[in-house]
C-alpha cells in the first residue's frame, strides 16, 4: 500500500463500517510501516472520519451564518426530535447520527444538510419529518435527495459571456495541434489570466515556472476544495461545465509537460462525483485524455479524482498537496513554490476550478475577444455566488467593473447593510461603498458575496465567523490557533454587553499578530473581517461598549451559581398536595 492512497483507504473503512476502528488503524499502520499514532493523527485531522461507531445515516447540518439566519436552530431541533438523537453525540442509535458542519456549498438553498453526502436543501421542520420517516421506511437516499443545482441568475450580453456560453467538448483542445506549448503559454499570458481562487497569482507565470522546471515528473492539480462559507461558484462550474475545467487542466499539462492530474474534490461535493467521472470517460473515449492525445506524439495525460475528507485548510495549495500525499492537511513552510517542490517533491501546478475553465475559454475565444471585456487590469468576466438577504440567490457571471450597487439591484437585495466579499476571510463593506467596482483596481473578489440587511446582528455574523476559524484552524501556528480562540471570546464579551474600548483595541492587535505570523493565507486573513468591521461599523460597536473596566473580566452568572442549591432544596421539599 502506498501512503498516497491513505485517504482512499480510510474512506473505505469509514463507508463500510461507519467509523475507523483501532483494528483498522493497526492494519493500515502495519501496511505502511508507520506508527499507529501517525495514522490516528491523520484520521483526527479530518471532520468526516469518525473514531466511534455511527448510525446507518450520518446527517451533517450546515451551521454557517446564512444557515443560521435561514432557520438553522429550528431545523436542528427538528432533526433531534425526529431521530431521537443529539447533535455531536455518538448515540447507540443504529439508524442515525447527527453532526454540525461548516459550509457545504449550498448557501443559496439554506437551510441545507448532507445525509451520507446526499444533499437536502431548503429544509423545513415538516420536510425533516418526511425525510426521516422515508429513511425509516427504507427509501433510497438517491431518490429522495434534492437537486442541488444552483440557479444561474444573470449572464452578460451574449457577446460578453465567457463561462456560461455553449460548450462543445474538445473544441479548445483541437487548437493545440497547431500551436506549440510556448505559443499557448503566450496566449494565457496575453490575456492576463490570474488565479481565481482568491490569491490572483499570474497563471502564466506559474505555468511557465513548471514548464521550465527540470523535474522528472510533473503534476496538475485542480483545487475543487471550495470551503469558504458562502461560496458555491466552483460547484456550479463543475456541475454545468466540468468538461471545460478538464480542458483547462489538459492545456496546463500541454504547456508544462505534466503526465498526471488530480481533481481534489471536497467530500461535500460527492454528489458531483459520478458526473465528473462520466465526463472523464468521455474524454478518454474521444482521445482527449490518455496517450498521444489528439494524435500529438508523446502528449500523454490522465486525470484521477481524490475525495477530500473535510478540512477547510486544504483549500490552501500546499495543505492540499500534503493531503494528497496521505498526510494531515497542514500548510507547508513557504520555502518553495509547488512548481519547484510540490506533490511528492515534483513540480506541481495547483489552480482552482474557475482558473482552469477560464484558461480553456481563452484558447477557444482568443485573447482579442477577452481583451474587449472588463477593465484595464481585470480582463473578462467573473463568476460570483450570491446569497443571503436577496430575492434571487445563485450564480452571476458579471463583467469585471460592475458596481456593487448594480449587483445588489440584480440580485434584488433587501435593505443591504453589511456585505461580505470573498467569504469570512475576505472583506466587508458598508452602505457608503456600494459605488465601488468589482475589479482588481478597486474591490477584488474571489467569488462570494453574502448580503445581510440592517435587521441582522453584526455581532452574530462575526461570532459565527470567529467560531468557524477557531474550529478550522489546523493548529500548527500558535497565533492562529490561540488567536482565533481569543477573538471568539472577545466577540462573546461584545454579545454579553461587557466589552470595553480596550477589548476592541486588543481585537485589532490580535488581528495584526495573526496576519503577520500565521503560516498560510487562510490563517493570515482569518481576522480580516472582524478587524475591518470595527472601523466600517464604528457606530454600531460604540453602542456595544461600556465605559468602565472594573470587574468585567469575569461574568458572574447568578442562575448557574445557585442552580445546585435550588435543585437540592427542591428535591427536599414535599410534593404539593
pLDDT in tens, 406-423: 999 999 999 999 999 999
Say yes or no: 352 and 223 in one domain.
yes
The region of weakest confidence among 12-16, 512-516, 560-564 is 560-564
DSSP 8-state symbol, 424: T
* The predicted structure's pLDDT at residue 550: 57
pLDDT band at residue 436 using 50, 70 and 90 as cut-offs? very high
- Who wins on pLDDT, 388 or 199? 388
- In angstroms, the CA 100 to CA 63 distance is 6
- Contact residues for 348 (Cβ-Cβ < 8 A; gap 6+): 210, 218, 219, 220, 221, 321, 338, 339, 342
Say yes or no: 237 and 275 in one domain.
yes
Exposure of 197 in the CB half-sphere (CA atoms within 13 A): 23
* Domain membership flag for residue 50: no
- Contact residues for 409 (Cβ-Cβ < 8 A; gap 6+): none
Question: Does 118 have pLDDT greater than 70?
Answer: yes
- Virtual torsion, Cα 370, 373, 374, 379, nearest 10 deg: 10
pLDDT band at residue 269 using 50, 70 and 90 as cut-offs? very high
Say yes or no: 215 and 361 in one domain.
yes
- In angstroms, the CA 462 to CA 455 distance is 15
pLDDT in tens, 333-379: 888 999 999 999 999 999 999 999 999 999 999 999 999 999 999 99
CATH code where residue 514 lies: 1.20.1440.230
- List the grid coordinates of 93: 442509535
* Domain membership flag for residue 382: no
- Alpha carbon separation from 116 to 51, 94, 313, 573 (Å, rounded): 17, 14, 22, 49
Q: Find the mean pLDDT for residues 441-445.
A: 95
Say yes or no: 96 and 163 in one domain.
no
Say yes or no: 124 and 181 in one domain.
no
* The predicted structure's pLDDT at residue 502: 92
Q: Which residue shows C-alpha cell 485517504?
A: 7
- In angstroms, the CA 399 to CA 438 distance is 9
* Domain membership flag for residue 421: no
* Domain membership flag for residue 443: no
Q: Find the mean pLDDT for residues 122-148.
A: 96
pLDDT band at residue 508 using 50, 70 and 90 as cut-offs? very high
Q: Tell me how many degrees the CA angle 256-262-264 measures, rounded to the nearest 5.
A: 130
- In angstroms, the CA 142 to CA 184 distance is 42
- Identify the CA nearest to 50 among candidates 99, 92, 111: 99
* The predicted structure's pLDDT at residue 114: 98
Q: Which of 112, 144, 176 is the last residue of a domain?
A: 144
- Contact residues for 369 (Cβ-Cβ < 8 A; gap 6+): none
Question: Does 552 have pLDDT greater than 70?
Answer: no
Given a contact cutoff of 8 angstroms between Cβ atoms, the answer to whether 462 and 504 are in contact is no
pLDDT exceeding 70 applies to what percent of the chain?
A: 96
Could you tell me how many residues make up the chain?
Answer: 577
Say yes or no: 231 and 271 in one domain.
yes
Count how many domains the chain has.
Answer: 4
**Positive or negative torsion for Cα 484, 485, 486, 490:** positive
Question: Does 573 have pLDDT greater than 70?
Answer: no
* The predicted structure's pLDDT at residue 294: 95
- Identify the CA nearest to 267 among candidates 120, 146, 105, 387: 105
pLDDT band at residue 574 using 50, 70 and 90 as cut-offs? low
- In angstroms, the CA 252 to CA 173 distance is 11
- Identify the CA nearest to 176 among candidates 308, 77, 37, 301: 301
Question: 164 is in which domain, residue-wise?
Answer: 154-371
Question: What is the CB neighbour count within 10 angstroms for residue 532?
Answer: 17
Question: Does 396 have pLDDT greater than 80?
Answer: yes
Say yes or no: 101 and 172 in one domain.
no
Say yes or no: 17 and 83 in one domain.
no
* The predicted structure's pLDDT at residue 571: 61
Say yes or no: 311 and 215 in one domain.
yes
Question: Does 575 have pLDDT greater than 90?
Answer: no
The predicted model scores a pTM of 0.93
Q: Which of 313, 336, 371 is the last residue of a domain?
A: 371
- List the grid coordinates of 436: 465601488
DSSP 8-state symbol, 567: H
* Domain membership flag for residue 564: no
CATH code where residue 69 lies: 3.40.30.10
Mean pLDDT computed over every residue of the chain: 93
Given a contact cutoff of 8 angstroms between Cβ atoms, the answer to whether 79 and 86 are in contact is no
Q: Which of 120, 144, 168 is the last residue of a domain?
A: 144
pLDDT band at residue 261 using 50, 70 and 90 as cut-offs? very high
Question: Does 551 have pLDDT greater than 60?
Answer: no
Say yes or no: 246 and 348 in one domain.
yes
* Domain membership flag for residue 406: no
Question: Does 559 have pLDDT greater than 80?
Answer: no
Say yes or no: 137 and 169 in one domain.
no
CATH code where residue 270 lies: 3.40.50.11540
Say yes or no: 38 and 64 in one domain.
no
* The predicted structure's pLDDT at residue 11: 97
pLDDT in tens, 162-216: 999 999 999 999 999 999 999 999 999 999 999 998 889 999 999 999 999 999 9
* Domain membership flag for residue 304: yes
* Helix axes 181-190 and 203-211, enclosed angle (nearest 10): 160
What b/e string do you get for 301-323 counting C-beta neighbours within 10 Å, with b at 16 or more? bebebbbbbbbbbbbbbbbbbbb
* Domain membership flag for residue 379: no
- In angstroms, the CA 385 to CA 38 distance is 38
Distance of CA 11 to the CA centre of its chain: 20
Give SS3 for 275: helix
- Alpha carbon separation from 244 to 18, 364, 381 (Å, rounded): 36, 10, 16
Amino acid at each position: 500500500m502506498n501512503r498516497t492512497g491513505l485517504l482512499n483507504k480510510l474512506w473505505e473503512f469509514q463507508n463500510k463500517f461507519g467509523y475507523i476502528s483501532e483494528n483498522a488503524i493497526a492494519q493500515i499502520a502495519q501496511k505502511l510501516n508507520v506508527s499507529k499514532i501517525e495514522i490516528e493523527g491523520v484520521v483526527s485531522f479530518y471532520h468526516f472520519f469518525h473514531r466511534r461507531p455511527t448510525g446507518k445515516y450520518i446527517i451533517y447540518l450546515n451551521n454557517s451564518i446564512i444557515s443560521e439566519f435561514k432557520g438553522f436552530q429550528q431545523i436542528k431541533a427538528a432533526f433531534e426530535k425526529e431521530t431521537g438523537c443529539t447533535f455531536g453525540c455518538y448515540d447507540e442509535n443504529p439508524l442515525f447520527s447527527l453532526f454540525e458542519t461548516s459550509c457545504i456549498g449550498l448557501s443559496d438553498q439554506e437551510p441545507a444538510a448532507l445525509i451520507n453526502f446526499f444533499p437536502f436543501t431548503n429544509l423545513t421542520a415538516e420536510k425533516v419529518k418526511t425525510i426521516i420517516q422515508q429513511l425509516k421506511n427504507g427509501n433510497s437516499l438517491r431518490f429522495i435527495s434534492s437537486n442541488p443545482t444552483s440557479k444561474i441568475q444573470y449572464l452578460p450580453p451574449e457577446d460578453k459571456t465567457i463561462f456560461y456560453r455553449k460548450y462543445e467538448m474538445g473544441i479548445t483542445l483541437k487548437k493545440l495541434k497547431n500551436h506549440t506549448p510556448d505559443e499557448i503559454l503566450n496566449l494565457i499570458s496575453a490575456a492576463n489570466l490570474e488565479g481565481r481562487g482568491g490569491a490572483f497569482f499570474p497563471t502564466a507565470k506559474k505555468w511557465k515556472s513548471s514548464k521550465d522546471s527540470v523535474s522528472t515528473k510533473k503534476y496538475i492539480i485542480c483545487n475543487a476544495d471550495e470551503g469558504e462559507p458562502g461560496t458555491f461558484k466552483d460547484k456550479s462550474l463543475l456541475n454545468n461545465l466540468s468538461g471545460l475545467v478538464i480542458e483547462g487542466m489538459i492545456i496546463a499539462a500541454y504547456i508544462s509537460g505534466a503526465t498526471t492530474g488530480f481533481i481534489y474534490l471536497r467530500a461535500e461535493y460527492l454528489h458531483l462525483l459520478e458526473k465528473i467521472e462520466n465526463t472523464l470517460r468521455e474524454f478518454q473515449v474521444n482521445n482527449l485524455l490518455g496517450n498521444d492525445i489528439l494524435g500529438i506524439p508523446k502528449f500523454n495525460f490522465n486525470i484521477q479524482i481524490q475525495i477530500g475528507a473535510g478540512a477547510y485548510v486544504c483549500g490552501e495549495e500546499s495543505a492540499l498537496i500534503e493531503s494528497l500525499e496521505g498526510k494531515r492537511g497542514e500548510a507547508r513552510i513557504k520555502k518553495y513554490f509547488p512548481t519547484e517542490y510540490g506533490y511528492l517533491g515534483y513540480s506541481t501546478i495547483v489552480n482552482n476550478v474557475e482558473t482552469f475553465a477560464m484558461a480553456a475559454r481563452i484558447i477557444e475565444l482568443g485573447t482579442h475577444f477577452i481583451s474587449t471585456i472588463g477593465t484595464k487590469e481585470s480582463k473578462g468576466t467573473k463568476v460570483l455566488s450570491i446569497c443571503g438577504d436577496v430575492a434571487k440567490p445563485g450564480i452571476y457571471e458579471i463583467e469585471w467593473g460592475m458596481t456593487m450597487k448594480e449587483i445588489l439591484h440584480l440580485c434584488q437585495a433587501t435593505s443591504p447593510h453589511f456585505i461580505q466579499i470573498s467569504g469570512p476571510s475576505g472583506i466587508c463593506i458598508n452602505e457608503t461603498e456600494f459605488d465601488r467596482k468589482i475589479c482588481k483596481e478597486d474591490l477584488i473578489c474571489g467569488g462570494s458575496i453574502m448580503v445581510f440587511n440592517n435587521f441582522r446582528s453584526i455581532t452574530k455574523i462575526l461570532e459565527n465567523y470567529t467560531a468557524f476559524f477557531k474550529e478550522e484552524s489546523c493548529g500548527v501556528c500558535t497565533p492562529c490557533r490561540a488567536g482565533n480562540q481569543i477573538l471568539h471570546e472577545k466577540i462573546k464579551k461584545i454579545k454579553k454587553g461587557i466589552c470595553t474600548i480596550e477589548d476592541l483595541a486588543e481585537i485589532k492587535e490580535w488581528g495584526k499578530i495573526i496576519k503577520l505570523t500565521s503560516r498560510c493565507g487562510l490563517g493570515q486573513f482569518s481576522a480580516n473581517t472582524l478587524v475591518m468591521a470595527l472601523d466600517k461599523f464604528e457606530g454600531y460597536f460604540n453602542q456595544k461598549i461600556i465605559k468602565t473596566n472594573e470587574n468585567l473580566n469575569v461574568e458572574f452568572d447568578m442562575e448557574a451559581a445557585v442552580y445546585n442549591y435550588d435543585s437540592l432544596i427542591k428535591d427536599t421539599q414535599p410534593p404539593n398536595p
